[in-house]
Structure 1
Amino acid sequence: MKRQMRKWVALLIMPLLLLTTLGSAPAYADTKLGIHVDGAILIDAESGKILYEENANKPLGIASMTKMMTEYLLFEAIEEGTITWDQEYKVNDYTYSISQDRRLSNVPLREDGTYTIRELYEALAIYSANGATIAIAESIAGTETEFLKLMNKKAKKLGLVDYKFVNATGLNNGDLQGMHPQGTGPEDENVMPAKSVAKLAYHLLKDYPEVLETTKISTKIFREGTTDKITMKNWNFMLPGFVYEYEGVDGLKTGTTDFAGHNFTGTATRDGKRVISVVMKAVDAKGEGSYKARFDATRALFDYGFGQFSEVEFVPAGYQFKDSKTLDVVKGKEKTVAVEVKEPISMMVKTSEKDLYVPELVIDESKIKENALQAPIKKGEVVGYVNLVKTEGTDYGFIDSDNPGAEIVTKDAVEKAGWFSLTMSAIGDFFANIWNGATGFVKGLFN
């Protein structure tokens, strides 16, 4: 009888346990988006605020996302006047051989041909053409081997971490027909964590936003009007008119190799907000990599960013902290100076969490001597910055770890006091110290 009772109790309790388990599912879905990737990240393109990340610090193969670094160095060289858009490149044995390999993404280059830098760049940005990419690297640095040095130097300057560049294209070195850059292995491949890839994309868009004028082109004829013409269809199938079209997408770079899998650095804008996403080694629910898998994962990140985040102004320009409206000043005609926030502080945050952020004043310690600012002080002098601190829950920070908040500046100028005033002040301080010491001694006698 007791056994039967226990059996009936178990049968009654089991559905309740199932309901409890089902009810807890949304908490997990809120933190993980259910995408199938080895690494992913989503950031606000304006501030660099990280909105989501998943295994974003693990170095992984980046394939043709490498070409974003090649693009950055190209725009920089154009800006510095090292090369020009109209400059012509003469095809050599290396670039000819690679460009003829149609197993790879390529526009075939004539063995005796010459091409402008602009033509080669469009082939790189739209069609991920590998021969054209090597031609650009050689135009900038002389050889791809020398170009690698520029890539590594720029990566260090941008603050990328855990990266390894072995060529300018992102191909496996085994595809370079034995002509891979000196000092690299025959089967080496470029690697980088998702966070560094996003940081590279962030700086590319910040410094050279004109790249989007080309990456948004869905189809273009290479060498139109000649016998060499070839139709270049963009590998970014989220652009308008393609099968995985997504509103607002205008870049940035796909990447696929056997080692790296299916990768994509995407960017889209909607309602004045731009986000950058990175997905690495994307697969479907069955564990199979595909173009669809990488675009599905990107779509999930975009939907999350545009759907759950909004731009919020936390502090207006001219804001003063209640308990820190002024800072002490020494050796000045004034004893204090008022300080305020220079620019309004806005940040893309999860709409449901906007009340969890509070502004925090951070004074630049290098400006402080003798526990005060030193006169003379200029109006608008930067004396610190504001951090937005999340009071609970995870905050991923910014893609640039040293990214400070809005600047704190002085509202007025404070001139340095004259010699006589400084002398009298020093005498006053001297006798004040003596008096304080004496009264302290007397008080001690009666304690």
Structure 2
Amino acid sequence: MALLVVIAPFMTTQSAQAASTLDIAAESAILVDAETGKILFSKNPDMKLPPASMTKMMTEYLVLEAIEAGKITWDTTTQISDYAYKISADISSSGTGLTQDVDYKVRDLYNAMAINSDNATTIALAELVAGSEGEFVKMMNKKGKEMGLPDFEFVNSTGLENADLGDNYPKGTEPDGINYMSARSSALLAYHLVNDHPEALEVSRVPQTEFDGHMIDNWNWMLPHDSVNFKQFYYEGVDGLKTGHTDLAGYCFTGTAERNGQRLISVVMKTDSIPARFKETAKLLDYGYNNFNSKELFPAGYQLKDKATIDVVKGKEDQVAIATNAPLTVPVQQGDEKNYTVTYHLDKDKLDKEGALVAPVKKGEKIGTAELVYKGEDAGYIFENKKHVVDVVATETVEKSNWFMLTLDAIGGFFADIFSSIVDMVKGWFN
């Protein structure tokens, strides 16, 4: 007991200082809560770097989007173009080896792309979805803007350098073009992928599968592989997401893990080896899970003490109660709960000049928003100008008063104004 009393303050200090002492051997890195997008750690997060095959996350997203829209299905078949076949025969890059004049299903091509990081199957899917890789690249950049990705540029679907594609580099791009993303944009892309299309994780978590008559391995060694060489990198809860490597990019990895209902997304860019990218990812995830817990700081139905009600005019009631319609939940560092407060932003268009609502008011009607405010330095969110808010709503209905009562109120108000004017005039006589 005495020993615990002595070391407890040091344990708390170590936890609080973990971010400042966390040494990540990568050119750029970031750790994000996958539910809220809150940044838990970052190192040079806005540095534009080649993402190598992490580019394929956008290809995965667009393929899944095309399936969701009904443009293609998992069982749609396609054949391999001369361009894709040439890439598949290049043993210097990720390749499973493809056969022409054979019908390949979208599901099999997607598995080879997402699990084995195959470049040729990626190109085949891009051509299927958009007609050509050049058109697909336009879709990639358009979607990146829609997502709000900062610091990015896509020039092909695979993450290779255009110079490696020879004369087949996508139309509309430069022959020496290079894909670029920052760690922040890679994390935001991963955020959209796992939240908009969680089925992507059903594939990315597969350590090994069969493709075209032979077994292919997942380059993510943090998954539960059978190989003794990979087991040292296993990390409980990891189920994705995408590795990457070129000479220019170094070794990259966008990882994601879920433990006790809390999902984190990590990115390391330009590490110096395959083991390094997984060791540094483990450091990030350890930091997140050891220091942050997702907590409901303010429950649904929370009311600010001085703003539990709001005035109502022209209604059968003079006031209506207002409260939050959803809980405010966020990853919180140990002992940091006291630094969070709530502030209201009421919708001015809903209020009259005196700041009152005008009846009728319906139960559940949005009156404004409640923002979670942190008192202190905060790394913020991966979204631009993101604020953690929920709606503030009326908790009951206030019906509009009938015409007779409104008339009486108007008459009463009229005479009240006259009386006030007379009082002011009389006071003026004696001043």
1:356 aligns with 2:345: no
SS in 2 for 1:385: strand
1:123-134 equivalent positions in 2, closer than 5 A = 123-134=112-123
Q: Give the secondary structure class of the aligned counterpart of 1:244.
A: coil
Deviations 1:194-240 (A, max 9, x none): 1121111111111111111110111112123xxxx3x2111111111
**Structure 1 residue identity aligned to 2:44:** N
Residue aligning to 1:256: 245
Structure 2 residue 37 is matched with structure 1 residue 48: yes
Say whether 1:139 aligns with 2:128: yes
Task: After TM superposition, list the pairs within 5 Å mapping 1:33-112 onto structure 2.
Answer: 33-112=22-101
Measured against aligned partners, the alpha-carbon deviations of 1:230-262 in whole angstroms (never above 9, x if no partner) come to: x21111111113241111111001111222222
Amino acid at match of 2:305: K
Distance 1:128 1:369, change over 3 A: farther
CA distance in 2, matches of 1:299, 1:360: 36
* Number of the residue aligned with 1:416: 400
C-alpha distance in structure 2 between counterparts of 1:275 and 1:137, whole Å: 29
How far is 1:314 from its partner? 1.1
- The residue correspondences of 1:215-230 to structure 2 (distance < 5 A) are 215-224=204-213, 229=214
Letter matched to residue 220 of structure 2: N
Which residue in 2 is equivalent to 1:299? 282
Alignment of 1:337-352 (within 5 A): 337-352=320-335
Distance 1:446 1:172, change over 3 A: farther
Q: TM-score, normalised by structure 1?
A: 0.87
- What TM-score results when the alignment is normalised by the length of structure 2? 0.90
Matching residue of 1:333: 316
Give the secondary structure class of the aligned counterpart of 2:312.
strand
Gaps of 5+ in 1: 1-23, 283-288
Moved more, 372-381 or 423-432: 423-432
Aligned residue number for residue 21 of structure 1:
none
Contact 1:35 1:297 in 2 (8 A): yes
Q: Given residue 377 of structure 1, which amino acid in structure 2 is its aligned partner?
A: V
Match of 1:426 in 2: 410
CA–CA separation in structure 2 for the residues paired with 1:410 and 1:330: 14
C-alpha separation in 1, matches of 2:20 and 2:217:
36
Residue 391 (1) aligns with residue 380 (2):
no
Instruction: Supply the distance in 2 between the matched residues of 1:364 and 1:32 (Cα, whole angstroms).
Output: 43
| Alpha-carbon distance between aligned partners in 2 of 1:367 and 1:108, rounded to the nearest angstrom | 63
Deviates more, 1:152-161 or 1:72-81: 152-161
1:154 lines up with 2:124 in the alignment: no
8 A contact 1:130–1:169 mirrored in 2: yes
CA gap of 1:362–1:147, structure 2 versus 1, over 3 A, is same
Q: 1:201 to 1:438 in 2, by over 3 A?
A: farther
1:310 and 2:293 aligned: yes
8 Å CA contact 2:130–2:136 kept in 1: the answer is: yes
Q: Which residue of 2 aligns with 1:178?
A: 167
The superposition leaves residues 277-300 of structure 1 with CA deviations (integer Å, 9 ceiling, x where unpaired) of: 111112xxxxxx111221121111
Report the Cα distance in structure 1 between the residues aligned to 2:218 and 2:58, rounded to whole angstroms. Answer: 18
| Counterpart for residue 304 of structure 2 | 321
Looking at structure 1, the residues matched to 61 and 217 of structure 2 have their Cα atoms a distance apart, in angstroms, of: 22
**CA displacement, residues 165-211 of structure 1 (integer Å, 9 cap, x when unaligned):** 11111111111122111121112111122112111111111111111
CA distance in 1, matches of 2:427, 2:337: 53
Structure 1 residues 444 and 244: alpha-carbon distance in aligned structure 2, compared to 1, 3 A threshold:
farther
Instruction: Spell out, residue by residue over 1:29-85, the C-alpha distance to the aligned partner (whole angstroms, 9 max, x if none).
Output: 542411122221111112222111221122222111111111111111111100011
- Residue 10 of structure 2 aligns with which residue? none
C-alpha displacement of 1:92: 1.1
Further displaced range: 127-136 or 354-363: 354-363
Alignment partner, residue 8 of structure 2: none
Cα distance in 2 for residues equivalent to 1:144 and 1:182: 8
CA distance in 2: counterparts of 1:407 and 1:78, whole angstroms: 33
Residue 424 and residue 86 in structure 1: after superposition, are their counterparts in 2 closer, same or farther (change >3 A)?
same
**Structure 1's 432 and 293: CA in aligned 2 closer, same or farther, altered over 3 A?**
farther
**Amino acid in structure 2 at the alignment position of 1:293:** A
1:420 to 1:350, Cα distance in 2 relative to 1, 3 A: same
Amino acid at match of 2:360: P
Give the partner amino acid of 2:222. M
Tell me the C-alpha RMSD between the 2 structures.
2.1
Unaligned runs of 5+ in 2: 1-12
Instruction: Give the partner amino acid of 1:179.
Output: N
User: Match of 2:389?
Assistant: 405
Q: CA deviation at 1:118?
A: 0.5
Matched, 1:190 2:174: no
Q: Could you tell me which amino acid in structure 2 is paired with residue 250 of structure 1?
A: D
Match for 1:372 among 341, 346, 356? Answer: 356
Distance 1:425 1:379 in 2: 24
Give the conservation status (yes or no) of the 8 Å contact 1:380–1:410: yes
The amino acid across from 1:73 in the alignment is L
After TM superposition, the structure 1 stretch with the greater mean CA deviation from structure 2, 69-78 or 44-53, is 44-53
Does residue 168 in structure 1 map to residue 151 in structure 2?
no
Determine whether 1:238 maps to 2:226: no
Q: SS in structure 2 opposite 1:58?
A: coil
Tell whether the 8 Å contact from 1:63 to 1:260 is kept in structure 2 after alignment.
Answer: yes
Instruction: Tell me, yes or no, if the aligned pair for 1:314 and 1:359 is still in contact at 8 Å.
Output: no
Shift of 1:324: 0.7
1:61 aligned counterpart, secondary structure: coil
Aligned pairs, number: 412
Give the letter aligned to residue 308 of structure 2.
K
What is the aligned partner in structure 1 of residue 6 from structure 2? Answer: none
The worse-fitting range, judged by mean Cα deviation, of 401-410 and 330-339 is 401-410
Per-residue deviation at 1:329?
1.9
- The question of whether the paired residues in 1 share the 8 Å contact of 2:301 and 2:325 is answered with yes
Aligned twin of 1:211: 200
C-alpha distance after superposition, 1:351-372 (max 9, x if no partner): 1322221222332334333222
Matched-pair contact (CA < 8 Å) for 1:126–1:215: yes
Q: 1: distance between equivalents of 2:17 and 2:116? A: 39
Letter of the 1:358 partner, please give it.
T
